[in-house]
Amino acid sequence: MKEKTKRELKHIAVTALRDEYGFAPKQSDVRLLEASGDGTYILFDVLGKEYRFDSYISHIGGMETIWCGSGTIEKIKSK
């Protein structure tokens, strides 16, 4: 899997928040703090709240995708 762009990492973060907590902020409200190149780990901030995304690459029908389902994200602190 090729290295993810900042836009792709923000999309993963927004998708994970929507799937885990039921809300999806604008990508412009997501501030990346650190991330793995493949997108399986992302530490990010949304309007003063910090989150950690940890997942894995799933192979489905010949395609590689990042799993964004339940249990992949947690709120770690408020600023």
- For residue 60, what pLDDT is reported? 85
Taking alpha carbons only, the member of 57, 59, 53 closest to residue 71 is 53
- For residue 51, what pLDDT is reported? 96
Sign of CA dihedral 3, 42, 79, 28: positive
Mean pLDDT of residues grouped by 10 in the chain (79 residues)? 91 94 95 95 95 91 86 80
Separation between Cα atoms, residue 37 and residue 22, nearest integer Å: 26
Pairing relation of β-strands 57-60 and 49-54? unpaired
